Amino acid sequence: MKRILLLTLVFALAVSTGYSQNKKADKEAAAQAMFDKAKAAIEAKDFVIVPDSYETSDGSLENNNDDANFLSYEGEFLFLQGAIICGNSYTNKASVTTADQKLDKKGNFVVTMQITGTQIQAKVEIFLRKGGNYAEVIVTPTRGSVRRFSGEVTLRSESKYYKRPNVV
């Protein structure tokens, strides 16, 4: 009787260990697929980042619930909208003058751009961590304060964001 109980316990332990390893592998594969999709959207210049959190002027983190705050790359122009993103209430249309994309030593995707628009001139840095589609963004304008926010990188066609008609 003890042998049967012991064998049943060993079998159950082996099955549960194998199940958890498969579950972990599935999670890693799904995260890698999200990373690859986000990276492809950035490389295709067809993405949106709606921040879910941002850094305030005093350095504390706040949540964003407004879809009218976003950064989008549409073909040859980068659009920045909302006080969280660019410090004004306009939809800022900017040309990308220089752009650099690279993978760092850890496999993270880093994009650095210089942008020029009528209301904003800035350096935009996007850090996409390996294993997901969550990005951290730093907007460093030539005038004004640095803006930091983070959110998911999504395709424009799949994203929910509100673009105001007041493009400058």
pLDDT band (50, 70, 90) for residue 10 = low
- 147 in helix, strand or coil? strand
Predicted TM-score (pTM) of this structure: 0.84
Q: What is the pLDDT of residues 139-153, one digit of tens each?
A: 999 988 999 999 999
Task: List the beta bridge partners of residue 50.
Answer: 152
Contacts of 115 (CB under 8 A, 6+ apart): 78, 94, 95, 96, 97, 121, 122, 123, 124
CB 62 within 8 A of CB 159: no
pLDDT of residue 15: 54
pLDDT at 19 over 60: no
What's the rounded Cα separation, in Å, for the pair 94 and 121? 8
Q: Write the DSSP string, 44-113.
A: TTEEEEEEEEEE-TTS-EEE---TT-EEEEETTEEEEESHHHHSSSSEEEEEEEEEEEEE-TTS-EEEEE
CA dist 112 → 8, 22, 137 (Å): 57, 37, 10
pLDDT of residue 4: 64
Q: Which of 9-13, 46-50, 72-76, 97-101 has the lowest mean pLDDT?
A: 9-13
Q: What confidence tier does 40 reach under pLDDT thresholds 50, 70, 90? A: very high
Q: What span, in angstroms and rounded, lies between the C-alpha atoms of 156 and 151?
A: 14
Name which CATH class applies to 36-158.
Answer: mainly beta
Give me the pLDDT at residue 128, please: 97
Element (H, E) at 143: none
pLDDT of residue 142: 93
Q: For the segment 70-128, what is each residue's pLDDT rounded down to a tens digit?
A: 999 998 999 999 999 988 888 999 999 999 999 999 999 999 999 999 989 999 999 99
